[in-house]
Amino acid sequence: MKRILLIISGSIAAYKGLEIIRRGLERGFEFTTILTAGGQQFITPLSAASLSGNPCYTELFSLTDETQMGHIRLSREHDVILVAPASADMLAKMVSGRCDDLASTVLLATDKPVMVAPAMNHKMWEHEATQRNIQQLIADHIHIIQPDSGSMACGETGTGRMAEVATILDYIEAHFTANKPLAGLKALVTAGPTFEPIDPVRFIGNRSSGKQGFAVAQTLADAGADVTLISGPVHLPTPMGVKRVDVQTADDMLAACASHLPADIFVGAAAVADWKPTLSSEQKIKKQSPLASFDLTLVANPDILSHIAHLKVGRPQLVVGFAAETENLIPFATEKLTRKGCDWIIANDVSAGCVFGQDDNTITLITPDETQSFGIMSKQAVATLLTEKIADYFSPSSPLPVGEG
Ligand code: CTP
């Protein structure tokens, strides 16, 4: 049974929120509701609670008074959050990330899919501001259930009427039954740089943004995998539905990976620092004199990809690495595939400052059987391509998996 957190905002279509509960219960959904202040102008919390058989929440602070953070709990314990009807104001609030009431706070705190069914006057729907907001919400991975056109409660005709209740429920059902080729599989993904401390304020690091690893984690999760993302220090939001573990050093990253095994799939997208200072000073290292030089001795860090690929017990079935090269792309990457013992390697050209921090990547996928080059692609497209290849590999109908032939 899927649990839906239904947010009903201020619109004449609010009464249809109650219809969503009635028809949704018939389809086996369970509902908990939040009524915004605007929503309460049209329907009462009592009707929503009576129909759903669960509490209807309205206040942010009565929940945060609980020993457990009520709004955080609400945002996490449902399978999906549905905002229906979503007023123009609610959409604008979601775009700006404001959280001055329970509904907007829950929407900002959630790690679950969010679907919105807009409802408003057609002029409001067509307004540049609303259309701009819709584009931003799509970019923020919010699902938009498009409004219908026809005659409206205000007497005018146009697009803006909330989608039919059956359409909204069909949309949710389709989301849950959509093709999830990696359902039931566990994936471990590393991303970002590692920072190796020299002293409490200085470190050795690199320019990795983490974008590629985060995109891979997102697409694997979208394909149904249970994904844990072990991330070095980056400034990126956690992909929807992904468990994230933040680490600083290569040693921490290896320990975090080891503690999250077993997994079926390992993707090493992190730019792990190859070396760390032999000793990290507990105190800030002082200059001996203004012009004195300073010798730093480095030792090799563990190679996480190689370690995981060579595990005798509990090796993930498919181990994928990335090879960042500035020259001899294919020969160097192929040598890396063999040396590190991974099944596939994605070679990417990092010469001339491309890739690190950028949105595009030029890649070649190397497996023991084939070398396939692709033109310039967004990191998102690389992630999608890799996920499709992984899905093919695990598909029961596919031929003998690469690497075992
Ligand atoms: N990798 C790793 N642990 C390391 C170094 C690299 O897990 N200590 C992984 C990366 O996540 C990537 C692959 O190994 O999947 C290759 O990384 P890359 O930086 O291209 O190779 P290096 O091993 O660092 O080799 P070199 O610097 O000599 O090119």
pLDDT tens-digit readout, 307-329: 999 999 899 999 999 998 989 99
Which residues is 6 bridged to in the sheet? Answer: 33, 82
Instruction: Locate the ligand 1 atom nearest the alpha carbon of residue 274 and give its number.
Output: 8
Domain positions in the chain are 3-178, 186-393
Ligand 1 pocket residue status of 30, Cβ below 6 Å: no
> Which residue's alpha carbon is nearest to atom 14 within ligand 1?
305
Phi-psi region of 141 (alpha: psi -120 to 50; beta: other; left: phi over 0): left
* Ligand 1 pocket check for 272: Cβ under 6 Å: yes
Pick the atom of ligand 1 nearest to 308's CA: 7
Question: Which pair of tokens denotes residue 305?
Answer: 């990809």
Q: Could you tell me the distance, in angstroms and rounded to a whole number, from the CA of residue 303 to the centre of ligand 1? A: 7
Dist CA 91 CA 133 (whole Å): 7
Is the pLDDT at 285 greater than 80, yes or no? yes
Q: Is the pLDDT of residue 178 over 80?
A: no
Is the per-residue pLDDT at 197 higher than 60? Answer: yes
For residue 272, report the distance from its CA to the centre of ligand 1, in Å. 6
* 3-178 and 186-393 in the same fold: yes
Catalytic residue (one of 56, 154, 257, 342): 154
Local confidence band at 346 (pLDDT 50, 70, 90 cut-offs): very high
Mean pLDDT, residues 357-369: 81
| Residue with the two structure tokens 């320990």 | 255
Residue range 19-35, pLDDT digits in tens: 999 999 999 999 999 99
Flag whether pLDDT at 182 surpasses 60: yes
Active site residue 154: yes
Torsion of CA 11, 14, 20, 22, to 10 degrees: -170
Q: Is 215 in the pocket of ligand 1 (CB under 6 A)?
A: no
**For ligand 1, what atom is nearest to the CA of residue 300?**
8
Mean pLDDT, residues 183-204? 96
Return the beta strands (E) in 108-179 as ranges.
114-118, 143-144, 148-151, 157-161
| pLDDT over 60 at 67, yes or no | no
Percentage of the chain with pLDDT > 70? 94
Please check whether residue 172 is in contact with residue 4, taking contact to mean a CB–CB distance below 8 angstroms: yes
On the CB side of 13, CA atoms within 13 Å amount to 24
CB of 118 closer than 6 A to ligand 1? no
CA–centroid distance, 236 to ligand 1, in Å, is 22
| Topology given in CATH for the domain delimited by 3-178 | Rossmann fold (3.40.50)
How far apart are alpha carbons 239 and 236 in whole angstroms? Answer: 9
For residue 304, how far is its CA from the centre of ligand 1 (angstroms)?
A: 8
Q: How far apart are CA 324 and CA 327, in angstroms?
A: 9
Find tokens 């498919």 and name the residue. Answer: 318
Q: Given the CA of residue 345, which atom of ligand 1 is nearest to it? A: 15
Q: Is 303 in the pocket of ligand 1 (CB under 6 A)?
A: yes
Q: How crowded is residue 131: how many other Cβ atoms within 10 Å of its Cβ?
A: 11
Domain spanning 186-393 has what CATH number?
Answer: 3.40.50.10300
Whole-prediction pTM: 0.66
Determine whether the shortest distance from the Cβ of 324 to ligand 1 is under 6 A.
yes
Q: Give pLDDT, residue 74.
A: 87
**205 close to 195: Cβ distance less than 8 angstroms:** yes
CB 247 within 8 A of CB 232: yes
Q: Are strands 80-86 and 114-118 parallel, antiparallel or unpaired?
A: parallel
**Residue 267 near ligand 1, beta carbon < 6 Å:** no
State how far the Cα of 229 lies from the Cα of 383, in Å rounded to an integer.
14
* Residue whose CA is at the smallest distance from ligand 1 atom 21: 323
Contacts of 390 by beta carbon, 8 Å cutoff, 6+ apart: 182, 220, 223, 265, 318, 320
57 lines ligand 1 (CB under 6 A): no
Q: 4 forms bridges with which residues in the sheet?
A: 31, 80
Yes or no: say if 199 and 284 are a contact pair by the CB < 8 Å rule. yes
